[in-house]
């Protein structure tokens, strides 16, 4: 079933933030923390430092009324810099790749900062900044 969640980006504080949110919302992670070292290696990318290997790749947990927040650590070593504006993303999880493509094409029209829809190890994924400056992530999960 399609759903919407909120994706939060941190500069090395994801685990600390989500442990705090667990106490606030009296909830638990939806699944164990996934670390950068858990991601399949990409030979086209540089090797991660030990610090970056322990950074959070993905975490999610329910908060209120079926809303889920998810998070990741941005890696400065990969050129990722946290700024107000790229720290929050609306994550759409449609049921099909076709729905994801339709939504991505409509939201990215006239926008910028695009990561085109593509197959990743976790699903069919893409991200864009719409013409109003709102970040959207689309993911059809295969996990």
Q: How far apart are CA 8 and CA 72, in angstroms?
A: 7
Domains along the chain? 3-141 (3.10.180.10)
Residue 97: the pLDDT is 96
Q: What is the pLDDT of residues 115-134, one digit of tens each?
A: 999 999 989 999 998 887 88
Q: What is the pLDDT of residues 21-53, one digit of tens each?
A: 999 899 999 999 999 999 888 888 788 889 999
Q: What is the pLDDT of residues 86-102, one digit of tens each?
A: 788 899 999 999 999 99
Residue 30: the pLDDT is 94
Q: How far apart are CA 141 and CA 97, in angstroms?
A: 10
Q: How far apart are CA 66 and CA 48, in angstroms?
A: 35
Q: Quick check: 143 pLDDT over 80?
A: no
pLDDT-derived band of residue 73, with 50, 70 and 90 as boundaries? Answer: very high
Residues with Cβ within 8 Å of 43's Cβ and at least 6 positions away in sequence, in order, are: none
């Amino acid at each position: 079933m399609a759903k919407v969640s909120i994706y939060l980006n941190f500069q090395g504080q994801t685990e600390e933030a989500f442990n705090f949110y667990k106490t606030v919302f009296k909830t638990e992670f939806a699944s164990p923390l996934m670390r950068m070292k858990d991601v399949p290696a990409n030979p086209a990318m540089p090797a991660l430092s030990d610090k970056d290997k322990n950074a959070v790749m993905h975490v999610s947990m329910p908060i209120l009324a079926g809303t889920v927040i998810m998070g990741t650590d941005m890696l400065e070593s990969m050129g990722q810099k946290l700024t107000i504006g790229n720290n929050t993303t609306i994550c759409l999880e449609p049921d099909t790749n076709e729905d994801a493509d339709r939504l991505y094409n409509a939201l990215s029209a006239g926008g910028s900062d695009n990561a085109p829809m593509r197959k990743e190890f976790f699903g069919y994924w893409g991200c864009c900044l719409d013409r109003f400056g709102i970040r959207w992530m689309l993911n059809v999960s295969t996990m």
